[in-house]
Amino acid sequence: MPIKVGDKLPSIELYENSPVNKVNILNLCSGKKVVLFAVPGAFTPGCSKTHLPGYVKEADNLKEHGIGEIICVAVNDVFVLNAWGKEQGTEGKVRLLSDPLATFTKTIELSTEIPAMGGTRSMRYSMLLDDGVIKALNVEPDGTGLSCSLASHMKQKL
């Protein structure tokens, strides 16, 4: 059964900036309010033109409302995410975490198969967390669309 409101995030290591820099997602979200969203893939049109840029643009506003971290998870390798982050200007705004084997994505049961993108990817979603517990969860009805998981929708949940 997919993760739901009221559940605590699993304790799983993701990667940030390099393959040796492991970040435990539960530890990162502990003791603060966090917005976590996922994309099917870096450099894809919807992710690059709308989804990530919306969170970059709204980062300061979200943080003014008590959000301690804004995290984007993608089933991509860490080097791809680094390049994408530089292109999108995420530094100091959105942390990009790599889930290269979709371990986190499969554990929370929000994975989808997209053969044209290499197989297992993340569904598109956003969640509001408080101390690692899900307070709001917005999963796109088709797993990849752009409606309920956008930054503008998350602002309404604060």
Architecture in CATH for domain 13-155: 3-Layer(aba) Sandwich (3.40)
User: Could you read off the pLDDT of 93-143 as tens digits, one per residue?
Assistant: 999 999 999 999 999 999 987 766 677 989 999 999 999 999 999 999 887
Residue 148 bears catalytic tag:
no
When pLDDT is cut at 50, 70 and 90, the band that residue 157 belongs to is: confident
Domain boundaries, the chain: 13-155
What pLDDT is attached to residue 115? 66
DSSP assignment of 91-129 equals: TTT-EEEE-TT-HHHHHTT-EEEEGGGTEEEEPPEEEEE
First to last CA, the chain: 26
Question: Which range (65-69, 129-133, 142-146) has the least confidence?
Answer: 142-146
Instruction: Point out the catalytic residue in the list 29, 47, 72, 148.
Output: 47
Q: For residues 79 and 31, what is the distance between their CA atoms, to the nearest angstrom?
A: 29
pTM for the model stands at 0.94
Cα(76)–Cα(84) distance, integer angstroms = 10
Measured distance CA(25)–CA(83) in Å, rounded: 21
pLDDT tens by residue, 3-16: 999 999 999 999 99
